[in-house]
């Protein structure tokens, strides 16, 4: 893109990528743009350690460094706890057991690995080349490095991460990842004039909020608001992508919405693929659009929980 194209960065934690899509759609609907490139990215492995002490200068004693990845992305500032504690709260209030979370994680991993073996992610992945010291040392990454073969016999023995007697483990929660995803939005008139292949049409979007500790089930509120705006029911939606920040998130929202599990995250979710915070909103929509095309489905909904008590949802149709 030329330097004359204006750009905006927004931060809505896990919902950033999908919020970027709705913001771009609004710009087109308002006549402020015909074409908008939207998306999200996150390099969690490059998040710095920061010190609030050094700005004024440390005079005596130890200096503390904080992990910006946790402080800025994985910490509930209202309850002053890790987001994983909120997931544990969800498991308790929604009566979701450790075994249910482990079973869900295994199924998500099975779906993701099978989809990868079948080459179903190829159409939505752009190979990235990483230069080495010599030209011949270039490394090309063309497959998602997230999915790994799970060992079912090992998962039940994993220790809880956030509470001594908890249920959330490294296996039934999303991992630490780097990633990016992008989409091109156009007005229908512009797309047809240029002869573009239209993957889908954005028909609606919604946001919702509740108590910060309950962010895990906020997608249900956003989805219900979206369905009401569209005048349809959950049964009218062919495919769903609901981000798996934790297995308990998807289990809870599937249950609250009465969804058919065979229509949700059919190629696996973040428990298997990973959850690079700012990228996930765009990533789930990219996967949804590709899956709808491959399976010849008409209507789909992408949704994510957002730390701080929010949820976001967006509907597309073919």
Instruction: Give residue 56's pLDDT band: very low, low, confident or very high (50, 70, 90).
Output: confident
Which of 82, 86, 90, 275 is labelled catalytic? 275
User: What is the reported pLDDT for 58?
Assistant: 86
Those residues with Cβ within 8 angstroms of residue 215's Cβ, 6 or more apart along the chain or in another chain: 76, 83, 86, 305, 306, 307, 308, 309, 310, 311
Is the residue at 94 inside a domain?
yes
Instruction: Give residue 262's pLDDT band: very low, low, confident or very high (50, 70, 90).
Output: very high
Is the residue at 224 inside a domain?
yes
**Does residue 263 register a pLDDT over 80?**
yes
Q: Domain limits at 126?
A: 13-50+70-313
Is the residue at 198 inside a domain?
yes
Per DSSP, helices labelled H in 118-246 are 188-193, 218-230
- Interval 242-268 mean pLDDT: 98
Those residues with Cβ within 8 angstroms of residue 234's Cβ, 6 or more apart along the chain or in another chain: 223, 227, 257, 258, 259
Is the residue at 80 inside a domain?
yes
Instruction: Give residue 1's pLDDT band: very low, low, confident or very high (50, 70, 90).
Output: confident
Q: What is the pLDDT of residues 202-235, one digit of tens each?
A: 999 999 999 999 999 999 999 999 999 999 999 9
Is the residue at 285 inside a domain?
yes
- Gap between the Cα atoms of 283 and 123, Å rounded: 13
Is the residue at 128 inside a domain?
yes
Which of 52, 86, 90, 305 is labelled catalytic? 305
**Closest of 259, 235, 215, 218 to residue 104, by C-alpha:** 259
Is the residue at 165 inside a domain?
yes
Instruction: Give residue 249's pLDDT band: very low, low, confident or very high (50, 70, 90).
Output: very high
**Does residue 37 register a pLDDT over 90?**
yes
User: What is the reported pLDDT for 108?
Assistant: 96
Domain count, the chain: 1
* Residue 86 bears catalytic tag: no
Instruction: Give residue 17's pLDDT band: very low, low, confident or very high (50, 70, 90).
Output: very high
**Which three-class secondary structure state does DSSP give residue 125?**
coil
Average per-residue pLDDT for the chain: 96
Is the residue at 63 inside a domain?
no
Q: What is the CATH number of the domain that holds 32?
A: 3.40.47.10
Alpha carbon distances (Å) from 159 to 55, 166, 303: 39, 9, 29
- Interval 15-40 mean pLDDT: 98
User: What is the reported pLDDT for 203?
Assistant: 98
* Residue 90 bears catalytic tag: no
- Gap between the Cα atoms of 221 and 213, Å rounded: 14
pTM: 0.95
Q: What is the pLDDT of residues 88-109, one digit of tens each?
A: 999 999 999 999 999 999 999 9
User: What is the reported pLDDT for 24?
Assistant: 98
């Amino acid at each position: 893109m030329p330097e004359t194209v204006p750009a905006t960065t927004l931060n809505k934690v896990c919902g950033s990528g999908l919020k970027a899509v709705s913001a771009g759609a609004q710009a087109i609907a308002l006549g402020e743009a015909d074409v908008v490139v939207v998306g999200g990215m996150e390099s969690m492995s490059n998040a710095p350690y920061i010190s609030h002490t050094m700005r004024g200068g440390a005079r005596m004693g130890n200096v503390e460094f904080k992990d910006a990845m946790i402080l800025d992305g994985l910490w509930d500032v209202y309850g002053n706890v890790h987001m994983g504690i909120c997931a544990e709260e969800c498991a308790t209030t929604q009566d979701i057991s450790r075994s249910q979370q482990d079973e869900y994680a295994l199924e998500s991993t099975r779906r993701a690995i099978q989809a990868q073996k079948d080459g179903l992610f190829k159409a939505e992945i752009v190979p990235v080349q990483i230069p080495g010291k010599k030209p011949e040392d270039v490394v090309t990454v063309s497959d998602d490095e997230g999915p790994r073969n799970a060992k079912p016999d090992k998962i039940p023995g994993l220790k809880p991460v956030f509470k001594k007697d908890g249920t959330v483990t490294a296996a039934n929660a999303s991992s630490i990842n780097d990633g990016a995803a992008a989409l091109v939005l156009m007005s229908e008139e512009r797309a047809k004039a240029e002869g573009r292949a239209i993957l889908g049409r954005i028909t609606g979007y919604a946001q919702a909020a509740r108590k910060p500790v309950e962010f895990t089930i906020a997608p249900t509120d956003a989805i219900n608001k979206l369905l009401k705006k569209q005048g349809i029911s959950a049964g009218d939606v062919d495919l769903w992508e609901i981000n798996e920040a934790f297995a308990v998130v998807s289990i809870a929202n599937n249950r609250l919405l009465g969804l058919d599990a065979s229509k949700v995250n059919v190629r696996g979710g973040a428990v298997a693929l990973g959850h690079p915070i700012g990228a996930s909103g765009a990533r789930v929509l990219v996967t949804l659009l590709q899956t709808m095309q491959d399976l010849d489905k008409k209507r789909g909904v992408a949704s994510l929980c957002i730390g701080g008590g929010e949820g976001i949802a967006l509907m597309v149709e073919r």
